[in-house]
Structure 1
Amino acid sequence: MAEQDDNPLNKAWGLSQLGVALRVMGKLDEAVEQHRQAFVLLESLAEPQWEIDFLPAYALTLRVAGRHDLAKAMYERTLELAHRLGRPYEEKLAREALTA
């Protein structure tokens, strides 16, 4: 039997990936909830470099679910973090998502 992993980052990653899978399956409310739970865990870590890795998937799920204002806020946060962390690829993707 596998040991339970109590690492919040690993739990957040798993919840985020579950959110992506649920989005693909069309279970949008459940997908949004999984992403939300992932971000609750990430907030306790206060590490922007991890947050930026999770934001685009959450934003896309929100967009697909029709929650455009929240999706826009997530893309804007991605843009802010990408600029601050010197991650031009993520900055470019966030800009494109905001203009789509």
Structure 2
Amino acid sequence: MITKEEVEHVGWLARIEIDEKESDAYAEKLNSVLDYFGQLDEVDTEGVEPTYHVADIVNVFRKDEVTESMSQEDVLANTENKQEGNFKSPRIM
């Protein structure tokens, strides 16, 4: 059981102002969630393998294939901010 004092303490830790009326409501809601988890603990899961992913997908990456890249002229074609074949950016310091 979660008490309203524990709710207020968690609110203090999170720097959230929770008044007495809200702490009673939150304690009730959190206790109902914990009751639900208690019901889930009662389910017989003997022989059920853990589910790490909903879909049984092992590797969804594409193959790493070498392809031709764009030429330097094509890459720099749409910018006015270039210098000596590179993008020119503002100085940071």
Question: Normalised by the size of structure 1, how large is the TM-score?
Answer: 0.23
Structure with greater proportional strand content: 2
Structure of larger gyration radius: 2
